[in-house]
Amino acid sequence: MRVRDIIYGALLTGLSLLIPLAFGNYLRVYLPPFSATLASHVPVMLAMLVSPAAAMLVGAGSAVGFLMVMGPVIAARAAVHMLFGLAGALLIKQGRSFRTALLASAPIHALGEALVVLPFGFTSYEALVLVGIGTLLHHAADAVISLAVASSLRLSSFLHARARQV
């Protein structure tokens, strides 16, 4: 892994920790047994653009952050971020678009989070419908935010490169 990728991964991991620790109370929607923290998937989604290893690192950071704030059930759900982040990053590495990677990783994310809560005593309905569909909707919302941030960063990079030419 290149130094640049490690630095981007570390910065995004810091953000994945900061969102639940510092902003969770403001961005969290909690409708038991489902919970969602708006923008919590954005760091791992952006890490897909860096590398598969960075996506896994950021997903692990997210799990640690949620373990500290919300406990083991939410942390187990957040650990699924490593899987869907890896899947999306591998698709991007194959030449697929960011949008395609976000779309293709959504079912992995939703099904993963639904299955991971079953050992914690969730009913099939709670796991598949509330957690699974809730995660799918949350993934979609964070994907829109991620697309906007990525687009903004590309524009910023383009403008920065043009400014050096002047």
Q: pLDDT for 26-73, tens place per residue?
A: 899 988 778 999 999 999 999 999 999 999 999 999 999 999 999 999
Radius of gyration of the chain (CA): 16
- Cβ neighbours, 10 Å, residue 56: 19
pTM: 0.94
Q: Is the pLDDT of residue 117 over 60?
A: yes
Residue 1 pLDDT > 60 = yes
* Distances 44 to 23, 28, 64, 107, 123 between C-alpha atoms, Å: 17, 18, 13, 16, 28
What is the average pLDDT value for the chain, to the nearest integer?
Answer: 93
Band of pLDDT at residue 161, cut at 50, 70 and 90: low
Mean pLDDT of 133-150: 97
pLDDT in tens, 61-73: 999 999 999 999 9
pLDDT in tens, 2-24: 999 999 999 999 999 999 999 98
Which string of b and e fits 85-111 if b means at least 16 CB within 10 Å? bbbbbbbbeeeeebeebbbebbebbbb
All domains of the chain, ordered by start, with CATH?
Answer: 3-165 (1.10.1760.20)
Does residue 92 surpass a pLDDT of 80? yes
Q: For residue 149, which of 98, 82, 91, 85 has the smallest C-alpha distance?
A: 98
Query: Can you tell me the distance from the alpha carbon of 132 to that of 135, in angstroms, rounded to the nearest whole number?
Result: 5
What pLDDT was estimated at residue 25?
Answer: 86
